[in-house]
Structure 1
Amino acid sequence: MTTFNIGFVIFPNLTQLDFTGPLEVLHRLPECKIHIVAKTLDPVRSDCGLILLPTTTFEDCCQLDLICVPGGGGVVGIMTDRETVDFVRKQATGARYVTSVCTGAFVLGVAGLLKGRRATTHWAYTDLLALVGATFEKARIVKDGNVVTAGGVASGIDFALHVATEIVGEETAQAIQLSIEYDPAPPFTSGHPDRAPASVTALVAPRYTKRREAYRAVLQP
């Protein structure tokens, strides 16, 4: 079996769980190699202050079998960063899977990879997918051809298990799930606006108003 190369694109102010959630699943695939890719090898600070270290650069990265772009506040900046967008677009031409978590979908979008495709992203930004030519599908994970998009933050773990099932089969994917004891039992059912109390949604939704406008300004100048 040849090595399956998996690459995560990291950038300043990303949401680390968008990256580390699927990383915990996918690095357990047999015969895989993980590449943590950034513009340089300089440390990258996530939005919670966690410092991440790239293992390779855009220039030196091999052709990836799976590329994943996480989301976070830094997405607004890298959507207009030609070097990052070009890297994602170039890798996508040879990748078996082109993927994103949360608002990382918009990086795929500005690279032209979501045009005419079904996709999802964090619930607060789903209506903006149309600005990159995508059709929003109301699902935690959406697969359209070789493009896989996941909803907000924690959905990255589910996305990775779905992809793992395709790559190595259901039994091995289940073994990975067991090894990380992924058996979620949250104390509330408020993880999505469809299920959260209206008062909770009203408390959270305004936090995204300025962020949404920043995305819109880039996508629809």
Structure 2
Amino acid sequence: MQVAIVLYPGFTSLDVLGPYEVLGRLPDTEVVFVAEKPGLVVNDLKSLSIEAVATPADVTTPDVVLVGGGPGQVEQMSNDALLDWLRTADRTSRWTTAVCTGTFLLAAAGVLEGRRATTHWAGLDQLAGFGAIPSKQRVVVDGHYATAAGVSAGIDMALTLGGLIAGDDVAQTVQLIIEYAPEPPYAAGSLDSAPADVVERARRVLAS
């Protein structure tokens, strides 16, 4: 199975590395980082780079397509070459997936029309403008599309995919290997649980 993970300047690291850590451990799986040009692609914090070894033209029929989010996603929404590749890859993919605001790239490509999907809470309401049906669920599976809410939800989505692709036993084995058993020190991980002042502070940070 080939998993193609899309990179672009300004991607959010955990959006892609969380799913990579899970999907890359599934049996008989090859993960390929894809970007417009081969080479290092820098993240949104400008402090970490991942090397893309292939261009979209090199990866024509991936079994799984994964697009992460990040501030750089806004510019990519007008990248016709990327959007065309997403549409083409989607025709033959077993799964077309996105994490966080990466969902907007799938929506811009037109593949989520009439589909339930999720994204980061700050942009969820905007999905409807692209013909998708916004969902507040952390992970949404609709047909062969899987989308995850913000950043860390990509791990949950990847484990969900792992179960659907390789079986629950395999997915649980991967979960144990990476010791994914979150016990955060705060209950501020969602709009429903975060204190009001924290929500307002987060909105200001995201808008800056």
What TM-score bracket applies, with the shorter chain setting the length? over 0.9
Match of 1:99 in 2: 97
Match of 2:179 in 1: 181
Q: Answer yes or no: is 1:18 the counterpart of 2:15.
A: yes
Q: Which sections of structure 1, spanning at least 5 residues, go unmatched?
A: 211-221
Kindly provide the amino acid, as one letter, of the partner of residue 187 in structure 1. Answer: P
Residue 85 of structure 1: CA displacement? 0.9
Residue pairs, 1:38-77, within 5 angstroms: 38-48=35-45, 49-77=47-75
Equivalents in 2 of 1:88, 1:114: separation in Å? 11
Q: Answer yes or no: is 1:32 the counterpart of 2:29.
A: yes
Q: What is the identity percentage for the equivalent residue pairs of Structure 1 and Structure 2?
A: 42
Q: Which sections of structure 2, spanning at least 5 residues, go unmatched?
A: none
Residue pairs, 1:136-215, within 5 angstroms: 136-209=134-207
| Cα displacement string for residues 148-167 of structure 1 (whole angstroms, at most 9, x for unaligned residues) | 11000000000000000011
Equivalents in 2 of 1:202, 1:17: separation in Å? 23
| Cα displacement string for residues 12-45 of structure 1 (whole angstroms, at most 9, x for unaligned residues) | 0000100000000000000111111011102100
Moved more, 104-113 or 52-61: 52-61
Give the CA RMSD over aligned residues.
0.9
Equivalents in 2 of 1:97, 1:75: separation in Å? 20
Q: Answer yes or no: is 1:90 the counterpart of 2:85.
A: no
Deviating beyond 6 angstroms after TM superposition, the runs of 4 or more aligned structure 1 residues are none
Residue 51 of structure 1: CA displacement? 1.0
Structure 1 length-normalised TM: 0.92
Structure 2 length-normalised TM: 0.97
Kindly provide the amino acid, as one letter, of the partner of residue 17 in structure 2. Answer: T
| Cα displacement string for residues 100-130 of structure 1 (whole angstroms, at most 9, x for unaligned residues) | 0000000000100111011100000001001
**Structure 2 residue matching 1:196: 3-state secondary structure:** coil
Kindly provide the amino acid, as one letter, of the partner of residue 112 in structure 2. Answer: L
Is 2:35–2:56's contact at 8 Å kept on the other side of the alignment? yes
Kindly provide the amino acid, as one letter, of the partner of residue 101 in structure 1. Answer: V
Is 2:39–2:53's contact at 8 Å kept on the other side of the alignment? no
Residue 91 of structure 1: CA displacement? 0.4
**Structure 2 residue matching 1:195: 3-state secondary structure:** coil
2:111 to 92, 110, 113: 113
Kindly provide the amino acid, as one letter, of the partner of residue 181 in structure 1. Answer: E
Kindly provide the amino acid, as one letter, of the partner of residue 97 in structure 1. Answer: W
| Cα displacement string for residues 34-86 of structure 1 (whole angstroms, at most 9, x for unaligned residues) | 11101110210001220110021111114101000000000001000111111
